[in-house]
Amino acid sequence: MNYFEQKLDLDYEKWNLGEGHRATLSCYLPSNSPEIDPDRRRPAVIVCPGGAYRGRSDREAEPVALQYVAADMAAFILNYSVGADAAFPRCVLEALTAIKTVRENAAGWNIHPDQIVICGFSAGGHLAASVGAFWNADFAARVLGDCALCKPNAAVLCYPVITSGPWAHKGSFVNLAGDDASEETLRLLSIEKQVTESYPPTFLWHTGKDHAVPVMNSLLMAQALAEKGILFELHVYPTGVHGLSLSDERTASSSLTDNQRLYRPEMLEKRPRAWMADSILFLKETVFQQ
């Protein structure tokens, strides 16, 4: 496997996107073997960790990417702008540029250009969902040109922030749009209201006991997808806190007590662990077969 960091070709100064952070892709590319299939082209998954647009969770980054690599996919982690640099539409333009970058390098990276997936967790799920909604928006075309190169072929949304309405994770929207955002801006950022017939096929999962980002976020998104006739799969697990990631010892928060590693038991729910295998089946046996 080859690992490297890739800078994104996005002109922050020209488009007044601010100073500070410049987004990068952490790239995990499985190697082709002459003994197996020297010409293999793989799907690619771009992972957007969560963190309320204030930070990026390590638990939702490399451990997730490596699971997709194990499923014979190329994986990327998008190190998008957060905190003071997160103001809309900067992060969306970074994510769209990431998809464009992967597609433009598909041949050299042994990637199938029509099998590029955006995956996100919590606020990173909002970012991934936004990409599905805004890939052909006028503001994106002004900056990125031919937005056909920016469209994801599918989205995987993991306990995503979706709505700015009564079920909103308000902190994410404050970090994204400010605490004085207009109703018009909040409506624009409420992704269930932005779904059109051009939205990509989508896999969603959530837990019914998520008190940080209520399950209604995924339910509203699923309803919007159904109304537009978009292919989707939704899993709602009955228990589990927010931020489960892989929901096992690989990603559970822990502490060291008397030289013994103790994991938070609420982050070790068994049933939600199925989401990874199910998302891979959704992609490989449904989306990529179209």
pLDDT tens digit string along 17-33?
A: 988 889 999 999 999 99
Cα→Cα distances 131→75, 151, 257, Å? 17, 8, 42
Two tokens at 177? 């749009």
Is residue 124 within 8 A of residue 155, CB to CB? The reply is no
Domains, the chain, in order of start with CATH, read 2-30+38-289 (3.40.50.1820)
pLDDT in tens, 173-222: 999 999 999 999 999 999 999 999 999 999 999 999 999 999 999 999 99
Asked whether the predicted pLDDT for residue 224 surpasses 80, the reply is yes
DSSP-based three-state secondary structure for 116: strand
Question: Strand 254-257 relative to strand 260-263: parallel, antiparallel, unpaired?
Answer: antiparallel
Two tokens at 288? 């990529």
User: Please, which pLDDT band fits residue 289 given cuts at 50, 70 and 90?
Assistant: confident
pLDDT in tens, 258-286: 667 778 888 899 999 999 999 999 999 99
What average pLDDT does the chain have?
Answer: 95
Reported in sequence order, the residue ranges of 55-166 that DSSP labels E, i.e. its strands, are 74-79, 111-121, 154-158
Is residue 218 within 8 A of residue 234, CB to CB? The reply is yes
Residue 116 pairs in a beta bridge with: 44
pLDDT in tens, 147-160: 999 999 999 999 99
Is residue 101 within 8 A of residue 69, CB to CB? The reply is no
Global confidence as pTM? 0.96
How far from each other are the two terminal CA atoms of the chain, in whole angstroms? 28
